[in-house]
A = this chain, B = another copy of it.
C-alpha cells in the first residue's frame, strides 16, 4: 500500500507596484477581470466579498474557490497592491494554473515591478 502524498498546493504571494493609481482606487473593473482569470484557467469561484474604502483609499477583496482562494488588497497612496493566489492540488497538480491566474490578474494593473514568493503548501 502506498500512502497518499500530502500536498495542499501552491501559493503565490505578490507585491505589485504600478502607476495606475485609478485602477488601485476602484474595484468596479477588476472584479470581472479576476472572475475571468479564475474561470479561464479551469478553477471555480464559490463566492467573494469585496470592500471599497471611501475617499479613494483603495479596495480589498477575498475570493473563495473550490480550489482555495484569491485575495487582493490595494494601497493607492503607496502605488501598490498585494495579490495572493492559492490553488490546492485536490484532484491534480494545479501549480501552473495557479501562476497563470496570478499573472493574468497582475497584468490588469500594468505593473512597473512585481515581487513574488511561491510557496508549496
Contact = CB atoms under 8 A, between A and B. Distances in A.
Interface of A: 4, 6, 8, 11, 13, 15, 46-51, 60-66, 68-69, 71, 73, 75, 78, 80, 82, 84, 86, 88, 117, 119, 121
Given A8-B78, A60-B66, A62-B71, 11 more contacts: A13-B121, A46-B49, A47-B49, A48-B62, A51-B64, A60-B68, A62-B62, A62-B69, A68-B71, A69-B73, A71-B71
A121 B64 contact: no
Contacts of A80: 6, 8
Contacts of A71: 62, 68-69, 71, 86
A120 to B, nearest CB: 10
Count the copies.
2
A6 B78 contact: yes
25 contacts: A6-B78, A8-B15, A8-B75, A8-B80, A8-B82, A11-B13, A13-B119, A46-B49, A46-B51, A46-B60, A48-B49, A48-B62, A49-B49, A50-B64, A51-B64, A60-B68, A61-B64, A62-B71, A68-B71, A68-B82, A71-B71, A82-B86, A82-B121, A84-B84, A117-B119
